Amino acid sequence: MSKLTVELISVGTEILMGNIINTNAAYLAERCVRLGLNCYYQDVVGDNAGRLKSTIDTALGRADIVILCGGLGPTDDDLTKETAAACMGRELYLDEESKAAISDYFARIGRVPTDNNWKQAMMPKDSIILPNHNGTAPGCIIADKDKNKHVILLPGPPEELKLMFEESVEPYLSSLTPGAIVSKTVKVCGIGESKAETIISDLIKSQSNPTIATYAKTGEVHIRVSASADDEQAARKLVKPIVKELKERFGEAIYSTSDDVTLEKAVVDLIIGNELTVSTVESCTGGLLAGRLVSVPGVSDAFKSGLITYSNKSKRKLAGVKKSTLDKYGAVSKQTATEMVKGLAALTKSDITVATTGIAGPGGGTADKPVGLVYIACSVCGNVTVKECHFTGNRQKIRDNSVTAALNLMRQCILKYYSEKTFGKE
Amino acid sequence: MSKLTVELISVGTEILMGNIINTNAAYLAERCVRLGLNCYYQDVVGDNAGRLKSTIDTALGRADIVILCGGLGPTDDDLTKETAAACMGRELYLDEESKAAISDYFARIGRVPTDNNWKQAMMPKDSIILPNHNGTAPGCIIADKDKNKHVILLPGPPEELKLMFEESVEPYLSSLTPGAIVSKTVKVCGIGESKAETIISDLIKSQSNPTIATYAKTGEVHIRVSASADDEQAARKLVKPIVKELKERFGEAIYSTSDDVTLEKAVVDLIIGNELTVSTVESCTGGLLAGRLVSVPGVSDAFKSGLITYSNKSKRKLAGVKKSTLDKYGAVSKQTATEMVKGLAALTKSDITVATTGIAGPGGGTADKPVGLVYIACSVCGNVTVKECHFTGNRQKIRDNSVTAALNLMRQCILKYYSEKTFGKE
């Protein structure tokens, strides 16, 4: 079953200049994948008739569906509609319904339309007009049934684009696409991308349907398995055995197979699921670890307190680290990390306490304690585990990797604690 | 003086599938504009040799410089280097220096490279190799001096790409562009983009050289003034009066005119410059504020402690907020925010204490205290200021805006304190 292909064209000088990040393309791409469309190209082009025309023509030459966003505004440099219509051999006409909708919109927001607003009511002949319920510019679908080409025009503002896509475009595209695509993402933490790739190289080499792709995130690897079939159930059947195989190969390194579960959410779910409470004490990560935990909605039931003990004094005063320990082993040491989680547990009476202490750089490194050396400690109901990590890169990257490693250590320690509780300590 | 043109090609199925937002393109576009290059097209293509080749060939046909990012990884579906080299008629060879660098990298992080890592040391013949100081994959520049074409390959991970671009690519591109480009960025905080644009609409309308562009960041607006001239001094002369004008129009809303001064650095510089100490107590921002402050190198001299008092109990226990205050006014209130900074000052003896408490959502909102309501308090040597903010957007956006607003409030309070100390209270 050959899939329909879609090409996304974002129109706007502000994207070309880097004034704004092209989030529309990411949104549209994800939606199109869900609809079972293949997307091989995305383009960005400015508000220039010639370059826009050549981009649309190229796209029409290699894709069944071309989605354009942006350039539907009222100003003279908004050319998308005129240009796309010309590419499809259509003229523009004044659409009374769109004109009325624009009048209504301005009446609602208590403003008077300017003459150039009526430009937005000029629509390509024989096109499907897509009402804009979040703004003035209507979108449209110009279809050439004989050639099987579909050009879809959407407004640039994300809120207008999303609503219009979900209300009007998705139903249209679903009617075009036979079959279904199902994707599952296996999320692995604590294993580098190249190592993960080696572990499944045989699967990747032999892939066709489902397809398998690895995506590197900070301290994580996401493996996406996508299958297409006549219906969703058949697609699921194709994905299932591969995911099962990945689970066998990566075991507990997998923290989730759900698209909307982040590492921090997986950790918080474990904490809440076991009715635990958590507190953090951070040195080199300076609050970023707590920040990631607190980014999960609903964490407030479990998260008790966080400390940022950046100075030695605060490590002693707040986290109860002994002066002798700091003097003998230093702030960046297994011993200090251990006392930080123990002190925090005593202070906050939390089931889980986690600590980070390390050298994020650029300064502060020595021969035996180089920049990138980070100790992470996690205590689960009194059982303390300390991990020594060596990270590279700049200050930001070292801190981000430290946070990810801390989250993963928390996950592993909680799992270990409960498996030992269940099966008894070896 | 005709400008050189650049085309940006982002390589990666994860962008085509919408798994990640293409922030690299926005970053590269902004930097290229700064260098005085014209960008007419951006492309996204997947890890597919045929489609990648046609995209590179097309770009080489219409641009002087082609920058590719992504697809330099060790995995089999990383094809950018091989394909780009072929398009430029170059073969690959094993670069011993790159191989050694990769060995060193793995030694530093205490991991053993897998065989496919050496793929990253295969470089195009006669290319300029760009070291990667944040990861394993080196980049390179393949130049054809006769045809005046330059193909630049950069790694996909943003922190690797940015460092490599600023260290190696910018100097190279500057050497290609005749004359000089001077840019100055006026960084404004606390004023929305549309309001900022209205304030300078006359300047924007009449712009030619220097050009004036506004960039919206979270809670900030950056106004870039760029002038091109035969030499740097002449370009500076063109930029200077515009920057002066902007300073008059925006006044203290400007926190810096330096490219490498972030809002958090501006705040930390004020703190260190006045030999002050700082501590934070956060509720809704959950450590992100401390995280931004601690991201500034050298802050350790000034940053004493941070508290994350997410629960009411910890607000009382750690920050010394009165139970009666929480009962009467609630955790999200002017009164609680005030007691948080006062309690923190008493606990940590810091000159500056700052507190955030608010409703980041999605849950927890009420009619009189809706999602997005955030109170930010700042105490400078006992002088407390509280700001009530109303933010829109999702949980993440509300928290990010809260952090930016807190940093800006700190800045304003410190400036106010010292101006009053100098000129006497009105």
A308 and A355 belong to one structural domain:
yes
362-391 of B, contacting A, C-beta below 8 A: 362-363
Q: pLDDT value at position B350?
A: 96
Residue A45, chain B, CB below 8 Å: the answer is yes
Q: Which residue of B has its CA nearest to A20?
A: B26
Chain A residues within 8 A of B74 when measuring between CB atoms: 193-194, 197
**Whether residue B424 has pLDDT greater than 70:** no
B265 CA to chain A: closest CA distance, Å? Answer: 14
Sign of CA dihedral A225, A227, A233, A237: negative
Is residue B83 within 8 A of residue B23, CB to CB? The reply is: no
Partner-chain residue, chosen from A51, A307, A370, that has the shortest CB–CB distance to B307: A307
- Please compute the mean of the pLDDT values over residues B30-59 and round it to a whole number: 94
Cβ–Cβ gap B26/A48 under 8 Å: no
- Domain boundary residue among A215, A232, A256? A256
pLDDT value for B426? 47
Interface of A with B in 224-283 (CB under 8 A): 224, 280, 282
pLDDT digits (tens, 9 = 90+) for A167-201: 999 999 988 877 777 889 999 999 987 789 899 99
User: Least CB-CB distance to B308: which of A46, A222, A290?
Assistant: A290
Residue A1: per-residue pLDDT = 46
Domain boundary among B152, B176, B200: B176
- pLDDT by residue (tens digit) across B302-330? 999 999 998 999 999 999 999 999 999 99
Number of structural domains found in chain A: 3
Task: Tell me if B305 and A286 make a contact (CB, 8 A cut-off).
Answer: no
Q: Does residue B336 sit in the same domain as residue B403? A: yes
Residue among A175, A121, B127 at smallest CA distance from A129: A121
A209 and A150, same structural domain? no
The CATH number that applies at residue A295 is: 3.90.950.20
Q: What is the pLDDT of residues A205-215, one digit of tens each?
A: 888 899 887 77
The per-residue DSSP string of B241-285 comes to HHHHHHHHHHGGGEEE--TT--HHHHHHHHHHHTT--EEEEESTT
Listed residue (A342, A347, A303, A296) closest to A321, CA to CA: A342
CB contact under 8 A, A214 and B111: no
Distance CA A258, CA A84 (A): 39
Beta-carbon contacts of residue B395 (< 8 Å; ≥ 6 apart): A295, A297, B360, B361, B362
Shared domain check, B119 and B97 = yes
Which residue matches tokens 């994959």? B137
State the Cα–Cα distance between residues A41 and A25, nearest whole angstrom: 11
Of B26, B46, B286, the CB nearest to A290: B286
A23 CA to chain B: closest CA distance, Å? Answer: 6
With a CB-CB cutoff of 8 Å, which residues 111-170 of chain A face chain B?
none
A–B interface: beta-carbon pairs under 8 A: 277
The verdict on A317 and A421 lying in the same domain is: yes
- Convert the pLDDT of each residue in A39-69 to its tens digit: 999 999 998 999 999 999 999 999 999 999 9
Indicate if B200 and B121 belong to the same structural domain: no
Q: Which of B112, B161, B310, B353 to mutate to test the interface with A (most CBs of A within 10 A)?
A: B310
Cα A139 from Cα A153, distance rounded (Å): 5
- The pLDDT-based confidence of A425 (bands split at 50, 70, 90) is low
Q: pLDDT (tens digit, 9 = 90+) per residue, A207-246? A: 889 988 777 778 899 998 988 888 889 999 999 999 999 9
Of B40, B108, B310, the CB nearest to A392: B108
Alpha helices in A111-192 (DSSP H): 158-164, 170-176
- Between CA B50 and CA A62 the distance in angstroms is 13
CB contact under 8 A, B46 and A25: no
Q: Are residues A309 and A219 in the same domain?
A: no
Q: Given CB atoms, is B306 within the 8 Å cutoff of chain A?
A: yes
Q: What is the pLDDT of residues B124-155, one digit of tens each?
A: 999 999 999 888 899 999 999 999 999 999 99
- Give the residue from A151, A176, A201 where a domain finishes: A176
ipTM score of the complex? 0.77
- With an 8 Å Cβ cutoff, are B306 and A310 in contact? yes
Residues of B in contact with A51 (CB under 8 A): 40-41
> Are A305 and A417 contained in the same domain?
yes
B289 falls in which pLDDT band (50, 70, 90)? very high
**What is the value of pTM for the model shown?**
0.79
Q: Give chain A positions within 8 Å (CB) of B19.
A: 30, 215, 222, 224
Domain co-membership, A35 together with A159: yes
Find, among A190, A192, A239, A241, the residue nearest to A215 by Cα.
A192
Question: Could B310 and A307 be called an inter-chain contact, meaning their C-beta atoms sit closer than 8 Å?
Answer: no
With residue B182 as reference, give the H or E element that holds it. Answer: strand B180-189
Q: How much is the average pLDDT of A124-145?
A: 93
- Position A167 scores a pLDDT of 95
For residue B399, the chain A residues in CB contact (below 8 A) are 295
Provide the residue range defining the domain that includes B375: 263-425
Where residue A67 sits, what CATH number does that domain have?
A: 3.40.980.10
Q: Does B28 touch chain A (CB under 8 A)?
A: yes
Return the closest-CA partner of residue B86 out of B120, B128, B58, B49: B49
User: When comparing pLDDT for B240 and A231, which is higher?
Assistant: B240
For residue A59, the chain B residues in CB contact (below 8 A) are none
Closest approach of chain B CAs to the CA of A129, in angstroms? 26
B242 and B216 assigned to the same domain: yes
Tens-place pLDDT, residues A300-335: 889 999 999 988 999 999 999 999 999 999 999 999
Chain segment B156-215, per-residue pLDDT in tens? 999 899 999 999 999 999 999 878 888 899 999 988 777 888 899 899 888 889 988 887
Dihedral over alpha carbons A332, A336, A338, A344 (to 10 degrees):
-110
Enumerate residues 6+ apart whose C-beta is below 8 A from B256.
B187, B263, B265, B266
Question: Chain B interface, mutation test: which of A13, A37, A42, A395, most B Cβ atoms within 10 Å?
Answer: A42
- Provide, as residue numbers in chain B, all residues whose Cβ is less than 8 Å from the Cβ of A288: 287-288, 291
* Interface test mutation site (partner A, options B44, B214, B224, max chain A beta carbons within 10 A): B44
We report the CATH number of the domain holding residue A199 as 3.30.70.2860
Picking from A119, A263, A198, the residue whose alpha carbon sits closest to that of residue B111 is A198
Nearest residue on chain B to A13, judged by CA atoms? Answer: B40
Q: At what angle do helices B263-273 and B395-423 cross, to 10 degrees?
A: 30
Q: Do B45 and A46 touch (CB under 8 A)?
A: no
> Is A75 at the interface with chain B, CB within 8 A?
no
Q: Which two tokens stand for residue B352?
A: 């500056």
C-beta atoms of A288 and B285 within 8 A = no
Q: Give the containing element (helix H, strand E) for A85.
A: helix A80-87
CB-closest option in A42, A46, A390 to B40: A46
Residue range A275-287, pLDDT digits in tens: 999 999 999 999 9
For residue B1, the model assigns a pLDDT of 47
Spatial contact of B177 and B36, defined as CB atoms under 8 Å apart = yes
Q: Apex CA A93: angle with CA A91 and CA A98, to 5°? A: 135
Give yes or no: residues A206 and A353 share one domain: no
A304 and A355 housed in the same domain: yes
Burial class (CB in 10 A: 0-12, 13-18, 19+), A144: middle
**A37-46 pLDDT tens trace:** 889 999 999 9
